[in-house]
Amino acid sequence: MTAVDPVSVEARLRDIQSITDAALSRLDDLDLLAELLDRTRDVLQADTAAVLLLDFSSGQLIATAAAGLEEEVRQGVRIPVGHGFAGRIAAEHRPVVLDRVDHTTVMNPILWSKGIRSMAGVPMVASGRVIGVLHVGSLTPRRFTSGDVELLQLAGDRAAAAVQSMTAAADRAAAVIMGRMRSTLRAYALETTDPSEVVGRLDRKMQHFEPDALATVVYAVMEPGLHQMHVALAGHFPPVIARPGQPAELADIRPGALIGAAPRTRRPVTTVAVPPGALLCFYTDGLVERPGEVIDEGLDRLCRAVTAQSPEAACATVMGALVGSEPARDDIALLMIRRHAGRETDTDA
């Protein structure tokens, strides 16, 4: 029977308490993350600690917070999932320990150029999925033990909870801003039929009252005869148009700067012909963006799915082709408008 060292047990309990200290919960989420990294580095007697969060749209880990490795965050380091040290942790959903740090084991040259000799990293998991990676490094050769990894995973779980809280707060603030934008657009739409003027007024209002907000908008006005529409884009993807008997395509519309990006910028207006029987498809980026692929692939997939049919059937076809049974990674909005051979127009969303 092996004797247990009471000193080491007491030290381990202190380490666990340092990471799970209730006082951390009184900090806001950003301060909590910074304090957690400092404590993790101290507890594990490491020289560096860093958090990389997963951007689901690109499939890349982005350096977000660091202690002793701040340049990784300042330079906006990105690591594809499945590649390098952090990418391997995210892909395999398990801790990884490195005894050698060089170009054969890590992708980020900052790590080996800084002189880091050993590393340990764990996945950050929230709601059953990996949302990031927490890793620590040592400037002297060492072997991170299983006990070290357990403590690091405890810190990773705490960091994941903080990030999830930040994400929820950001989502709530985005929802509030979107509600204000919709109300503003409705008000300005009553004052002018010029899409550029409406979007420009919205931009001026947002930059004054919501100076840090960025958003994309597509704004279209149909002619009374329904034979054409006038469209202004503010950083948004153009609608897809499907003409009878022809493959669907992205409408040829001049782009404009997104809301909040460029003060006093006038967005150009493009006039698009809408022949009888044509179907117009408006959508948000959540429909076409996928991790690890360029956006053109998603847009091509959408164009292949859209055909000149009833709006109801078109919505069902597009959602089946682009979403299917997979859980949505982002909010999706879809608007279909079809012009009949006469003046009537059907819509569905």
Domain at 36, CATH number? 3.30.450.40
186 located within any domain: no
27 located within any domain: yes
Sequence-distant contacts of 54-57: CB under 8 A, at least 24 apart: 54/81, 54/90, 54/130, 54/131, 54/132, 54/133, 55/291, 56/291, 56/329, 56/330, 57/289, 57/290, 57/291, 57/329, 57/330
Same domain? 118 vs 39: yes
The answer, as to whether pTM is greater than 0.75, is no
Domain at 273, CATH number? 3.60.40.10
Same domain? 27 vs 134: yes
196 located within any domain: yes
182 located within any domain: no
141 located within any domain: yes
pLDDT score for 220: 96
Q: pLDDT, tens digit, for every residue of 22-61?
A: 555 555 556 778 888 888 898 899 999 999 988 876 788 8
- Which residues, listed in sequence order, are joined to residue 259 by a DSSP beta bridge? 215
pLDDT score for 265: 84
By residue range, what is the domain housing residue 74? 6-168
151 located within any domain: yes
Same domain? 10 vs 157: yes
- Which residues, listed in sequence order, are joined to residue 339 by a DSSP beta bridge? 345
pLDDT band at 86 (very low <50, low <70, confident <90, very high): very high
pLDDT band at 168 (very low <50, low <70, confident <90, very high): low
pLDDT score for 302: 96
117 located within any domain: yes
185 located within any domain: no
